[in-house]
Amino acid sequence: MNKFIPVASKLIIQQIRTQNPKVEIVAASKTQSEAKILELHNLGINHFGENYFSESKAKICSLRKTHPQLVWHYIGRIQNKFATKLFDNFDIIQTVCEMKTLLKWEQYQKDFPEVVCPNWYIQVSWDANENRGGVHHSKLKDLLYEASKLEIFSFFKGIMVLPPASSSVDELKRIYSEARSIKDNLEIKLSLPSLVLSAGMSQDYEIAINHGSTMVRLGEVLFGQRTK
C-alpha cells in the first residue's frame, strides 16, 4: 500500500514500461522526503533527479549509505560556485551548457584523479529565454567541438531537452523530433553509440517517448502535487 505517493504512480510507471521498456524513468525528487523516494524505489525506480545542491546533499548522503544502488542525477541549473561539489556528489549531471563548467571539471579531475568524473549531458535549448538554461541547438556543434578536446569528454553520454514553457503540442512534437535527429547524428559523427536523449516531463512525457526520448524526468505525476 502506498503511504506517501499517489496510487496512480504505479500505473504510470507500468504504462511507460509498456509503451517503451527501454525508456529510463528519472523521478524528479527535489524537496521530496527520503520516505517518498524509497516508496518509489520499491516500485522499481532507481534514478532520482535533484535541482539544488544545498537541498539535496544531506538526502543523497543518507540514502547512499542505505541504498547505494540509487543513481543520482543533477537536473537543475549549474551554479559555478557549486560546479565541483556537483562533480563530487552526483552520478549524472544533465545540464551542462558552458565550457567554463567543463574546464573547471577538467582541472578538478587532474587535481583529484581519485574522484571519478560523473557522466554528463549537454542541455540543448530551443528557447529564446536564456534564464531557462541550455545551449541553443544552433550552437551545440561549437560547444561539442571545444568539449571534445578535453579528457573528460569520454564521460559525455547524451543530451537533455527542456522545451519553451509555452510550447504547443505541435511545437513539442517538432522539438523532440529534432532532438532525436541531433542525438542520432551525434552517435554517428562522434562514434558514440547509445547516447541518451533526456526529454519529457510530467506534462508531456508521452509525446516525448513517441518522438524518441530514452529518458523522462517525472515529478508531480509520480510524487503528487508539491505542497507550497
Each residue's pLDDT tens digit, 9-39: 999 999 999 989 999 999 999 999 999 999 9
Domains of the chain: 8-223 (3.20.20.10)
Contact indicator for 12, 27 with CB cutoff of 8 Å = no
Check pLDDT > 90 for residue 8: no
pLDDT at 26: 98
Q: Which three cell numbers stand for residue 1?
A: 500500500
pLDDT at 7: 80
Which pTM was predicted?
0.94
Q: What is the mean pLDDT of residues 62-78?
A: 97
Q: How far is CA 187 from CA 42, 194, 197, 211, in A?
A: 34, 7, 11, 17
d(CA 215, CA 160): 9
Query: Which strand (E) or helix (H) includes residue 66?
Result: helix 53-66
Percent above pLDDT 90 for the chain:
87
Instruction: Measure the N-to-C terminal CA separation of the chain; round to a whole number of Å.
Output: 25
What pLDDT, in 10s, does the model give residues 182-204? 999 999 999 998 999 999 999 99
